[in-house]
Chains A and B, each alone.
Chain A
Amino acid sequence: MKKENKNLIFGGTAIAAVIVIGAFLFNAVFSVIKDAAPKVEVTETTTIVETPNIIKSIRNIGQWEFLTINDEEVVERTHKNLILSDDYLVRIYYGTMRLGIDFQELKEKAVKVDGDSISLTLPPVKLLDDDFIDEALTKTFYESGTWDNASHKNMYNEARENMMKYGMSRENLQHTRELAEAQMRQLLQGLGFKRITILFESR
């Protein structure tokens, strides 16, 4: 190897070493200055004001639930922007649909007894609650841009509609009727009836 090349490599290595050592010193001095300088920071304190639970209504109900359907729905919205990037909002809603019978709809002549025979005509199987989403459990999975209350309301309605499509299928309603019949039969057998007929009112 030529002497000139050797000198070049030595020189390069020396310069690199000087750069690294210099950077170390700069970092050390900077951190000392940073610690000594007055600290200015913006803080945010959040207070949740204590409010009472106000009981709006208490009512007696007679809803017998036979099938529970837990559902989770992802709902998304996009706002197209002309210049800046689009806004997105993706939320996950949680709901529980309860299918069963409302005994308050039981007709006066729904029960017919003849010795150890009984005939029971039950009200139609239905969704027991119109409000079945636990909205306070909703998760915001992705958010960019600003979104107003109307968007939130609209997304809730879409989630509810999707859940209804999934939960209120013909199969689920039929399955609920079968479960209701089995449960009622067991109860009536317990009360000593031997011949049991269970019917459902048509809608």
Chain B
Amino acid sequence: MKNYLLLFLSFIISAVCLFYGCDKGQKADIQGDSDPLPVLTNRIQQCSKLYTTEYRIHKIVLVETEKKIESNFLGMGFNLPVGERKLIIPMEATLKGYIDFSNLKDDDITIDGDQVFVTLPDPEVELTSTRIDHDGTKQYVSWYLSNFNTAEQTAHAAKGRRDIINKLKNDKKQKQRIVESARESAANLLIPLISQMGFEEQNITIKFQREFSFDHLTILTD
């Protein structure tokens, strides 16, 4: 009697598993793909950075999405546009050129009689902030489609931020302008300061360790 009952139950269980098991597995996989909860950390760090130049960059992120119905009915493929959504996100990024004084070594400042020689570390550039213009953010959506939600807007703003950095990395002229202005500004700040300490301006020499490379662009909390 027990054997028959076990056989009967195993039939039922295996049937249930066969028909529902796969679906459950897919759901589990999809859940596994979702972003984990970001770990929240607050850090306080000591540093010594002299920011000498500031760039403010304005960027407009334009996003267009088009919804279509695609079918291969009777062997004939067709695309039927059903609506579009457009999003405009104006944003502003601030980049700053700086000299990292924590890299300054003792022999980077030398005094020879009334002459002062200061060798500064290579300038670096950092993206210090981005700000979205919420008043200027607009979306145009066909009435039967859903608006861009907050998560979608966030994702497109992040792409805009990446585009700002990539464009700067690939634009040699702009790189050069930032480098020159970071260097000039550092000299304009330090020479008067050192001259106030009793040295003649013409006796102060400020130079940089090596050619600046924009590949050093550091990006905040990336």
Residues of A within 8 A of B (CB): 1, 5, 9-10, 12-13, 16-17, 19-20, 23-24, 27, 38-49, 51-72, 74, 89, 91-92, 94-96, 98, 100, 103, 106, 110-111, 113, 118, 128-129, 131-141, 143, 146-147, 149-150, 152-153, 156, 166, 172, 179, 183, 187-188, 190-193
Contacts and interface: CB of A to CB of B under 8 A. Distances in A.
B45 A68 contact: yes
A38 B76 CA distance: 10
Contacts of B15: 19-20, 23
Interface in B124-166: 127-132, 134-135, 137, 147, 149-151, 153-154, 156-161, 163-164
Contacts of B158: 136-137
A91 B196 CA distance: 49
B111 A192 contact: yes
Contacts of A96: 128-129, 220-221
Contacts of A69: 42-45
Contacts of A92: 38, 40
Interface stretch (B4-12, B24-32, B207-215): B4-12
Contacts of B14: 20
A150 B69 contact: no
Contacts of B150: 89, 91, 140, 143, 147, 152
Interface of B: 1, 4-5, 7-8, 11-12, 14-15, 18-19, 35, 37-38, 40-74, 82, 91-94, 96, 98, 101, 106, 109, 111, 116, 127-132, 134-135, 137, 147, 149-151, 153-154, 156-161, 163-164, 167-168, 174, 177, 181, 184-185, 188-189, 193-194, 196-198, 220-222
Given A129-B128, A132-B128, A44 B67 contact: yes
